[in-house]
Amino acid sequence: MNAHSTGLELILNAAEGVLQIAVTDNEALLCAQQWHRSERATEILAPALRDICAGLEVRLADFRRIACVRGPGSFTGIRLVLTTAAALRRTGRAQLAGLDYMQALATSTVLRRGLLYGAPLWVLTHARRNLVHCQPFVAYGPQIPAQPLESVELLAPAEALQRLAARPGHVCGSGLARNAALFTPLRTGSGPAGAPDAVLMPDLTSPDIAALCLLARHGDYFPQDLEPLYVRPCDAVENLPHLAGRQGLDADEAVSALGNMLARTPESEI
């Protein structure tokens, strides 16, 4: 390792579809892996980290910074990387930074297309049936991550299309392919019927490693655990009254009990 290194950094993302792992030292990429098996990410991550550390001849405790994508996206994937980072923080000296998934995709667009300052961007990712995460960004060139213009919103695809029409630009994310009937281009090089001036990038559905590294470079690191960014309500919470009834429990009591547990202050960091 470089004697003047800023330290080993681990970058993790499992927000949507792909488990991504990268290791850098002094901002130089040492290793990157992408596993297109999101349904097996829980069983893949720990052995993959073990093998990466063995190949680089480092220990997990040697990481000084850990950057994790905290959402929005898959509840399971987000929890996986955040709990892994929390465990590593307790066993080593690493500080943690939370990365935004939508910003990582927007920054990937900038890097792929060589967009300059001021170029408008949109990211649409699948939230669940008939809902997308929607957020506008502006490009800041190749050295600075794309910056959000508004907070991420949960919208119907048709409403997201109206937003694109009002401010056309490059558009990426899984929300395009998952709602292909609405976002199919009128012709090659054109946007969809409702937003013909939009530049669609339906194949860009997961961040590039270079974009994740750029966000990590600009991240804010602290010696504390990261809060997830879910945006949409958890299906299990929304369905709790129904699930409680099937178990012979009172729905109102179940909802109240969950609220009390979620509001309870932890007695320990562990």
- Of 148, 139, 204, 142, the closest CA to residue 171 belongs to 204
71 φψ region: left (φ > 0), alpha (ψ -120 to 50), beta (else) = left
27 and 157 co-located in one domain:
no
**Count of CB atoms situated within 10 Å of the CB of 39:** 9
1 located within any domain = no
Query: Quick check: is 14 in a domain?
Result: yes
Q: Which domain holds residue 182?
A: 102-201
Provide the token pair at 112. 């792929």
φ/ψ of 118, rounded to 5, equals: 95, -10
pLDDT of 253: 78
Nearest to 200 by CA among 185, 180, 182: 185
- Give the pair of three-digit tokens for residue 134: 């929607």
pLDDT at 3 over 90: no
pLDDT in tens, 154-175: 999 999 999 999 999 999 999 9
Q: Which residues pair with 12 in a beta bridge?
A: 21, 68
What is the predicted pLDDT for the residue at 7?
A: 87
For the cut 90, the answer to whether the pLDDT of residue 79 exceeds it is: yes
Lowest mean pLDDT among 88-97, 212-221, 229-238: 229-238
CB 22 within 8 A of CB 14: no
Do 178 and 211 share a structural domain? no
pLDDT at 245: 77
* pLDDT exceeds cutoff 80 at 41: yes
DSSP character string of 151-169:
--EEE-HHHHHHHHHHS--
- The rounded percent of the chain whose pLDDT value lies above 90 is 76
pLDDT interval class at 237 (50, 70, 90): low
Looking at the structure, do residues 112 and 194 belong to the same domain, yes or no?
A: yes
- Whether residue 52 sits in one domain with residue 135: no
Total tally of structural domains belonging to the chain:
3
Q: Could you give phi then psi for residue 127, rounded to 5 degrees?
A: -100, -55
* pLDDT number for residue 16: 95
Tell whether 134 and 156 lie within a shared domain.
yes
Instruction: Report the distance separating Cα 138 and Cα 72, nearest Å.
Output: 19
* 226 in a structural domain: no
- What is the share, in percent, of the chain residues with pLDDT greater than 70? 91
Shared domain check, 195 and 129: yes
Neighbouring-strand partners of residue 171: 122, 200
Q: What is the predicted pLDDT for the residue at 248?
A: 84
For residue 3, tell me if it sits in a domain: no
pTM for this predicted structure: 0.88
For residue 180, the model assigns a pLDDT of 94
